[in-house]
């Protein structure tokens, strides 16, 4: 197919094409806004790829492929391509799995990992005693390979590189096909040892029933073709800047391509010089920084909003309280109520104190109570209500008390007559739209019981 002439829409960028996002449906789902008929749209650098985001190349250093195990190497974007760097891994010989294994072919090799890989996660490698006891015998239950119809005995130093022995294996392997039967041995040497294995074939030449090449078999020793050899025998290649004590100047790892992959802030073929400018970017770190900034801005805005609501509610509540209307604690003199004028107390006996000018402080004492005044004059004629107005229909109810309508007099209580008043005028401080009734002088006070005019008989 690659030898066929270029065809736009097949998903491959071929000669004469800047991009190819695939069919119309594929382009609609990804890359269509960046690529139009295999040509990049205006301002676009790319249309797809692990290092292409919103039609632009990802910055250098952005992670595009994570490491999958201890022996893998994470790949980053280069900053000038939409494709992630080629998949690479650590050079063979690196230690892994807390120094229990060795990297070989991009995988961490241990007998325990191999047992789990073939038989299941609950399976573990058999005890070393199983290998030393069985593989040295050269039988079906323990050997270092097969020579035609006979089993090969393992040398004492090679027993850990022969037949793979595990504990508590299942009856069916997770992969491949079981060739023959599962071998199982129970050994007792102070305690019980379960030593089981089986020949699992992937093909005619590959038998997973033996310990893999690259599996450690001792300090600085590695298995190779059923033999336990020192690591020097593998002739592991070295990267630039590697000595007996460090690899890649101590600031990177050596890849299977025999190239140094430098740590952040370090560069060069041997990772020996420090990069002054931070040209590497971490997408996760960038996103975390944006999220942190948004959280701070949101917290400040939320605080301002809460303060505004508190101040607004407080101001509204303050406006709802009429000026001068408040209630003192019970028992205090001159208690005020919302419907009583300032300087005037209730009609209780305890609050009917006398003013300094001799006038009564009680509102009820200044207005005659009609309940105690007879409606019949001494001469037998009914009293006239001419100065009182319409008492029956227009009385204003205030706090359960019934008051007579005010007269049209504009006389008010001066500061001299009301030392307790702060304004000097009750009429001016009241909420009522009409003036206060005139205060009786000494003469009117003496004759207030006969304030009503008796109409003489004709």
C-alpha distances (whole Å) from 259 to each of 88, 240, 254, 291 are 10, 7, 6, 37
In a domain, 120, yes or no: yes
- Between these two residues, 64 and 433, which has the higher pLDDT value? 64
Handedness of CA 28, 30, 34, 40 (dihedral sign): negative
Is 222 found in the same domain as 120? yes
- State residue 3's pLDDT score: 62
Contact 370, 386 (CB under 8 A): no
Residue 423 clears pLDDT 70, i.e. is over it: no
Alpha-carbon span 87 to 83, nearest angstrom: 11
- State residue 349's pLDDT score: 42
- Give pLDDT tens digits for 380-402: 555 554 444 444 444 444 444 44
Alpha-carbon span 357 to 365, nearest angstrom: 15
Is 26 found in the same domain as 136? no
In a domain, 179, yes or no: yes
Is 131 found in the same domain as 29? no
Q: What angle do CA 440, 446, 451 make, to 5 degrees?
A: 65
Alpha-carbon span 346 to 406, nearest angstrom: 18
Is 230 found in the same domain as 112? yes
Q: What's the farthest any 2 CA atoms get from each other in the chain? A: 160
Distance of CA 287 to the CA centre of its chain: 13
Alpha-carbon span 130 to 165, nearest angstrom: 7
Is 226 found in the same domain as 138? yes
Number of compact structural domains in the chain: 2
- Give pLDDT tens digits for 328-339: 444 444 433 334
Contact 375, 369 (CB under 8 A): no
Is 123 found in the same domain as 27? no
**Mean pLDDT for the stretch of residues 398-416:** 43
Domain boundary at 199, 234, 269, which? 234
Is 6 found in the same domain as 120? no
Is 128 found in the same domain as 19? no
Domain boundary at 234, 258, 278, which? 234
Enumerate the β-bridge partners of residue 311.
none
**Mean pLDDT for the stretch of residues 58-75:** 94
In a domain, 281, yes or no: no
**Which of 142, 286, 257, 290 lies closest to 211 in space, CA to CA?**
142
Neighbours of 191 (CB within 10 A): 8
Domain boundary at 219, 234, 249, which? 234
- State residue 386's pLDDT score: 44
In a domain, 181, yes or no: yes
Is 113 found in the same domain as 25? no
Residue 13 clears pLDDT 60, i.e. is over it: yes
Distance of CA 257 to the CA centre of its chain: 41
Alpha-carbon span 335 to 399, nearest angstrom: 14
Alpha-carbon span 417 to 385, nearest angstrom: 29
Residue 235 clears pLDDT 50, i.e. is over it: yes
In a domain, 75, yes or no: no
**Pairing state of beta strands 146-147 and 150-151?**
antiparallel
- Domain holding 121, by residue range, is 107-234
Q: Which of 207-211, 424-428, 449-453 has the lowest mean pLDDT?
A: 424-428
In a domain, 254, yes or no: no
In a domain, 409, yes or no: no
- State residue 418's pLDDT score: 40
Q: Which of 17-26, 50-59, 314-323 has the lowest mean pLDDT?
A: 314-323
In a domain, 149, yes or no: yes
Rounded to the nearest 5°, which phi and psi values hold at 240?
-60, 145
Alpha-carbon span 369 to 199, nearest angstrom: 120
Say how many residues make up the chain.
458
- Give pLDDT tens digits for 184-233: 888 877 788 899 999 999 887 889 999 999 999 999 899 999 999 998 87
């Amino acid at each position: 197919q690659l030898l066929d002439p270029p065809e736009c829409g097949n998903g491959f960028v071929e000669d004469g094409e800047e991009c190819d996002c695939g069919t119309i449906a594929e382009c609609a789902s990804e890359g269509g806004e960046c690529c139009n008929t295999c040509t990049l749209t205006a301002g676009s650098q790319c249309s797809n790829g692990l290092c292409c985001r919103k039609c632009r190349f990802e910055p250098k250093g952005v992670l595009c492929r994570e490491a999958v195990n201890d022996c893998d190497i994470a790949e980053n974007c280069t900053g000038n391509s939409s494709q992630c760097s080629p998949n690479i891994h650590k050079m063979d010989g690196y230690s892994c799995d807390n120094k229990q294994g060795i990297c070989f072919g991009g995988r961490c090799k241990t007998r325990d990992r191999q047992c789990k890989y073939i038989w299941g996660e609950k399976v573990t490698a058999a005890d070393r005693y199983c290998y030393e006891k069985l593989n040295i015998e050269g039988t079906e239950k323990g050997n270092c390979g097969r020579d035609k119809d006979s089993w090969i005995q393992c040398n004492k130093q090679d027993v850990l590189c022969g037949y793979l022995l595990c504990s508590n294996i299942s009856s069916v392997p997770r992969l491949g096909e079981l060739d023959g039967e599962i071998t199982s041995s129970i050994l007792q040497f102070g305690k019980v040892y379960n030593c089981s294995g089986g020949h699992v074939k992937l093909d005619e030449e590959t038998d997973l029933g033996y310990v893999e090449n690259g599996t450690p078999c001792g300090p600085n020793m590695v298995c190779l073709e059923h033999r336990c050899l020192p690591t020097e025998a593998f002739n592991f290649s070295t990267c630039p800047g590697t000595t007996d004590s460090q690899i890649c100047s101590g600031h990177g790892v050596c890849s299977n391509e025999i190239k140094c992959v430098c740590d952040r802030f370090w560069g060069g073929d041997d990772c020996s010089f420090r990069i002054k400018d931070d040209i590497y970017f971490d997408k996760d770190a960038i996103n975390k920084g944006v999220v942190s900034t948004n959280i701070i801005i949101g917290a400040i805005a939320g605080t301002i909003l809460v303060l505004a609501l508190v101040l607004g509610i407080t101001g509204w509540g303050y406006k709802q309280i009429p000026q001068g209307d408040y209630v003192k604690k019970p028992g205090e003199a001159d208690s005020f109520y919302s419907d009583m004028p300032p300087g005037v107390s209730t009609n209780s006996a305890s609050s009917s104190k006398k003013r300094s000018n001799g006038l009564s402080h009680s509102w009820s004492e200044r207005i005659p109570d009609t309940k105690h005044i007879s409606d019949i004059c001494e001469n037998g004629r009914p009293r006239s209500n001419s100065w009182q107005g319409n008492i029956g229909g227009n009385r204003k109810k205030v706090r359960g008390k019934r008051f007579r309508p005010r007269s049209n007099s504009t006389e008010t209580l001066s500061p001299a007559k009301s030392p307790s008043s702060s304004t000097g005028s009750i009429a001016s401080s009241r909420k009522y739209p009409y003036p206060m009734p005139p205060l009786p002088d000494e003469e009117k006070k003496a004759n207030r019981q006969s304030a009503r005019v008796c109409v003489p008989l004709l």
